[in-house]
A = this chain, B = another copy of it.
Amino acid sequence: MIGVLEKFKALAVDDAPGQEGRQAAVDLSSIRRGDPLPGRPVDFSHGDVDAHPPLPEAQAAFAAGLAAGGSQAYTEYRGALSIRDEVADHLADFTGASVDAVDGLLLTPGTQGALFLAIAATVGSGDKVAIVQPDYFANRKLTAFFGGQMSPVPLEYLPDGPDAGLDLWALRAAFENGAKVFLFSNPNNPTGVVYSASEIASIARLATEFGVTVIADQLYSRLQYSGQTFTHLRSAGMPAEQIVTIMGPSKTESLSGYRLGVAFGASDIIARMEQLQAIVSLRAAGYNQAVLRTWFNEPDGWMAARVTAHEAIRDDLLRVFRGAGFATRIPQAGSYLFPTLPDLAVDLRSFVRFLREQAGVVVTPGTEFGPHPNSIRLNYSQDHLAAVAAAQRIVQMVDRYRA
């Protein structure tokens, strides 16, 4: 079983969001400083769906799916066609390029499910995969699991400016060196930056030139802040058979508890993803699929109100962190913030643990996203006042543990 154990080494989840409860007890008393900081606990490792609840209509849509009975329980592996029809229309409108409901769209158990299947369907053992640093931690883990080799592409995200900061020369170099797949999130997780139209055009051009398949994780692309423009790679002129886009209603729409996602684009890749889904989980839970009928179908003003609420939290947290001198890019979409902390007297892992134990604040260490040992990621889709108070406790804790 050596081979299997080796493969799983890259998948450790103890530091992953939500798994803190399973960490082994370690005695850190010799480096602990100060007393507990009072305040309402905030778990920034994921959004708070109680503070930003899902659309009430979701429950009714689920009930309708359940009432439909067997036909909704046992759909095609890629999901019920009538639901795919509706979703395809919305996605075409949103992304500016047509979506084939029959052959070019797959419903999955969450956006994570879509990402897993897309990487499995495109990355073979020894294949080179271009991956942005920093980017969503599962990208690296999935690539490693399928035997792919990561070609890192830096994102110089810290300077606010018109571009996200993708190192296009490094991207070209990765493609020249044989990368078969390019995998990136837009808006970027963990920084919240959005790739500019010019960057997206460059990615499309390079992917076309080198025949690279691109997996674009656009999970957060609906939550765009005021004045933001968003360019969808799939409408940027690259060959349709080279791109799969991934989205889902888990974040902005707070529907994570239903585990729903979609992958759309290249029909050959979608077909392989369905083949694999048939043995991974059969399908997105049948009744849950019906909840997708509420997606892109929210009442007028619902999404605008959600954006406004998150923009206000973003602005307050930026004030707290920038006021303390932590270099932080302004998130342009989504609800992630990725401040850089000053040098600390303890390692990041211990500091993150002290944040949890002493300040009641859960964050995700930057090392989960790449070589970022001074950064922490916050999902600020939280109760507004609690989030601001928790950010202030983070600043206090940094002061306490400063090198």
Contacts and interface: CB of A to CB of B under 8 A. Distances in A.
A380 to B, nearest CB: 15
B73 A257 contact: yes
B279 A4 contact: no
Nearest to A122: B4
A189 interface: no
A77 B45 CA distance: 14
A258 B75 CA distance: 12
A109 B259 contact: yes
A127 B4 CA distance: 9
Interface string A1-42: 111101110011100101101100000000000000000000
- How many copies the complex holds: the figure is 2
A274 B49 CA distance: 24
A121 interface: yes
Interface of A: 1-4, 6-8, 11-13, 16, 18-19, 21-22, 46, 48-50, 53, 59, 62-63, 65-66, 69-70, 72-77, 108-110, 112-113, 115-116, 121-127, 138, 141-142, 145, 180, 213, 256-259, 272, 274-276, 278-288
A57 B123 CA distance: 43
Given A4-B124, A145-B279, A287 B257 contact: yes
Contact of A282 (B3, B112, B141, B284): B112
A59 B66 contact: yes
A123 B1 CA distance: 7
B49 A1 contact: no
Nearest to A66: B59
